[in-house]
Each structure stands twice: as structure tokens, then as C-alpha cells.
Amino acid sequence: MLVTLTVGELREIIGEVVEQKLKGRAARHTGRGLLTADQAADFLGYPRHWAYKNWQKIGGKKIGGRGVRFDAVELQTWVESRKSG
């Protein structure tokens, strides 16, 4: 079986798959309160050190002396803003 797709159709399919993956990650993390850097990195698909390095840009909150936590809804908002930009 051979399937032929236009570039536009392929982009649409890829976009839908990526959106489903992100929604699945959001569902796993929503309702848990604030996320750790490990959880935020998993949510975004980046390494942990990237989440720490970019915590202010992606909506991280400083807690205590050196701790950083992330809200899954704010992370999703950041992801959405990257799509439209």
C-alpha cells in the first residue's frame, strides 16, 4: 500500500500528533500542584538542565532558598505561545 501526502497534509498530521502528545503530558501533570524541574523537563521534552537554565522564561517560580517549581498550565501556555510565534 502506498500513500501519497502533500507537504501541507503531512504538516497537519504532525501538528496533530504533537498536540496530542502535549495534551497527554499536561494530563499526567495537571492537578499535582507545582512540578519539579525533572517533571517540567519531561513535560516539555527538554533535559532538566535546560528547565533550570530557562526557569524564568517558561514561568518557573522560585521557592525557598534555591528551589524552582513549575505550573503545568503555565508551561502549556508557554508551549502554545511558541507555536504562534
pLDDT single digits (tens) 56-75: 999 899 888 778 999 988 89
28-59 b/e (C-beta count within 10 Å ≥ 16 → b):
ebeeeebbebebbbbbbeeeeeebeeebeebb
The domain limits of the chain are 7-84
pLDDT value, residue 31: 56
Question: Domain 7-84, what fold?
Answer: Arc Repressor Mutant, subunit A (1.10.10)
Ranges of residues in the chain whose predicted pLDDT is under 50: none
pLDDT value, residue 49: 94
- pTM score: 0.60
pLDDT value, residue 41: 93
pLDDT value, residue 72: 87
